Amino acid sequence: MSGERRFIVMRSLWMALLLVCSLFGPGCFSPEEPRELDPGADDDGDGLPNGWEEERGLDPLNGSDGVVCHGMAEYCLRSYDNFTFPETHNSFATIEDGVWMAMNHYTSLQAQWDGGIRAYMLDTHHLSKEDTAVEDVRFCHGDPDSTFLHPCIYSEVDAYAWMRHLGSLMNNSSGDVVSLLLENYVPGEHLEVLFNQTGMLDRVFVHQPGQPWPSIGEMVLNGTDLVVYWDYQYDERFPWLHHAWTHSWDTPYGEQEQDEMSCRVGRGDGIQPVWHLNNWLSSTFGLADPVRAGQVNDYDTLLERTLGCWEEVGDRPTFIAVDYWEDGEVTNVTITLNMMPDWSGEVPGHP
């Protein structure tokens, strides 16, 4: 083939290639530059903004590379103190756990978890006044200084087994943050062993007083999905054991009449954004009242009280704590509240 003919053929090929490239757009001769994403948009439709995903190492263009928190991706964007968790008072004191005196619920941890409970009030004691070794830590309900009976005589739950069960439930869930409030009667060293041996110490979150709480999604992605408070003095050796009434506050509890319930401060300073709305009545004997639990836990009644306190306090309640959670609809009330950005907004329909 002559040089002139070869030139004509090559020129024709180049012209054909240019025509093809004009049809398929940029990137024909070099890789296309990645386009800059709008950080506020949600290009993959997973409920998380592009910028939020990029900052946390997630792919904003891959809908399967995301995170879901408490059933909805949008809740991952909420700060811990801007979410409402259903909470059980004396969570371990149940008939299913073998507690036959001073019980607070019918069903144990598994049923509570399956029903949506994600915050638990627990009482940590030693087995007796003589059995005070670290392996003797139990969940019991009562006053250890009582002249009547040591509380573990009539309500003893293995704290190690209970915590391992909770850890298993958390490991098999997706994006749930859990909180514990301990009424504590054992040394901090014993609690550290309890949490370490049950694998829970690795997942605790440490909050500094006065600092903003992170988003639920950040806690989940960082593997710090457990917040522990204790009704005990602060101890710098255990920063993960947050003094309950420094990092949060609560309303009065155990009133004998429903009209005595209020939104005022019980313990703490009333300033912290994390707070417990205590919602249970005591019987004449000072024990949990199974007869009237359904009355105060009723959906409309509890929702009305919660919205009123949200308005009065200025912050949504972080926790709604109840006795006999099975009677009434505390979990449905929190579902409704978490769909509302403000107390004055439109109330969604019953879940």
pLDDT digits (tens, 9 = 90+) for 262-294: 999 999 999 999 999 999 999 877 789 999 999
Residue 20 has pLDDT above 60, yes or no: no
Residue 298 has pLDDT above 60, yes or no: yes
Residue 146 has pLDDT above 90, yes or no: no
Give the other-Cβ count within 10 Å of 119's Cβ.
23
The pLDDT tens digits for 125-135 are 999 999 999 99
Residue 8 has pLDDT above 80, yes or no: no
Distances (CA, A) of 11 to 5, 6, 21, 235, 286: 10, 9, 15, 82, 97
Question: How far is 328 from 211, CA to CA, in rounded Å?
Answer: 35
Q: Which two tokens stand for residue 267?
A: 């313990």
pTM of the model: 0.90
pLDDT at 102: 85
Residue 110 has pLDDT above 60, yes or no: yes
Q: How confident is the model at residue 29 (pLDDT cuts 50, 70, 90)?
A: low
Residue 350 has pLDDT above 80, yes or no: yes
Which of 319, 337, 330, 183 lies closest to 251, judged by CA? 319
Please name each of the domains of the chain with its CATH number. Answer: 74-338 (3.20.20.190)
pLDDT at 144: 78
Q: How confident is the model at residue 3 (pLDDT cuts 50, 70, 90)?
A: low
Amino acid residing at 297: N
**15-24, 35-44, 243-252, 342-351: least confidently modelled range:** 15-24
pLDDT at 100: 83
Average pLDDT, the chain: 91
Distances (CA, A) of 249 to 57, 87, 229, 256, 343: 35, 15, 11, 21, 20
